[in-house]
Structure 1
Amino acid sequence: MKLDASRPLEYATEENRNRILGFWIFLGAEIALFSTLFTVYFVLVNRFASGPSGSELFEIGPVLAETFVLLTSSFTIGLAIHAMRHQYKKAAMVFIGVTLLLGLVFLGIEIMEFFTYVHEGATLSTSAFLSSLFVLLGTHGAHVTFGLLWGSAILIQLSRHGFTPETANKSFIFSLYWHFLDVVWIFIFSFVYLKGLM
């Protein structure tokens, strides 16, 4: 394996560069998935039948908390990659751990929010609006859950092997994934919650 010392460790081999390119292509497919879910939501947003509308259902407090927590996690994963590039293993692992903890808090708030909706009679089968809402939010939440498992596996690898071209590459690709989830959430926050509250 030929290392290119002029590049960051995650880009140090041709295989690593190809993996990063491949992951960008994968994110393009994820953009198509979420674009479809947003389109379905926008088509069905006013079809709430006898169920509640967004303005009746949404509460700004939990949504702001989710947004703050997830955007903070985007900052901490950025700090983890910065620490990795300076070979600060312990700091990188701490920042990845904080990122995962914040992701867990986000999921906890979202699950409590779902329980509140169901308690108020807003279920998947109540209306087309709620079906599209639950599928959109649930898909994002499933991605966050997968990210928590993936990030945990990376922490284990870093603790065992430290920074190698492989572990650095995996950590960097994970950070791209996590930033993508944050960008999707910004769209959910802006076009689902804020627009729904108006």
Structure 2
Amino acid sequence: MIKRVFGMAVLATIVAISSGCGESEEEKRFHQELIEKALNDDTKKAGDRFLAENAEREGVVITASGLQYEVLQAATGDSPRIQDDVRVNYSSWKINGEAFESSEAQEVKPIFPVRSVIKGWREALLKMAPGSKWKLYLPSELAYGARSPAESIPANSTLIFEIELLEVLPHEKADQ
């Protein structure tokens, strides 16, 4: 409760400082409505409830950033570095269980630059070794935040991913 009040106070201060930056009254009202919507969004609230309950489950690890994960298959070896690319197999769901994207059916598994994936993936990948498989529970700020990446995924969505790290490709070898 104290964190929320403090956070709202900081946000109110930022709004107050920036509100005098040449905006019309209509623009100020619009920005205030956006801030209030973001703080009180039902999607965000549902995600926060989901993560609070999930945090109580046995085997769920929680990092300082708020990332929650379970190790489904452990592996040893070198983790990727931020400049590396990775080949992965993955599936993803919204917290209601609805799947929205998967590489399962793809014959050639996708390659992603570690530095370019969403924050929650990046944090997890930098801790994983090839051959490991993790289930990630990403608060919205570690996923797509206040933007909607697709019509089926609302802004402020908490998302679930299962990622299997198949291979680490040093950046200079990723195109080969």
TM-score (norm 2): 0.32
Structure (1 or 2) with the greater helix fraction? 1
- Between Structure 1 and Structure 2, the one with more strand by share is 2
- For CA contacts below 8 A with separation 6 or more, give which structure has more relative contact order: 1
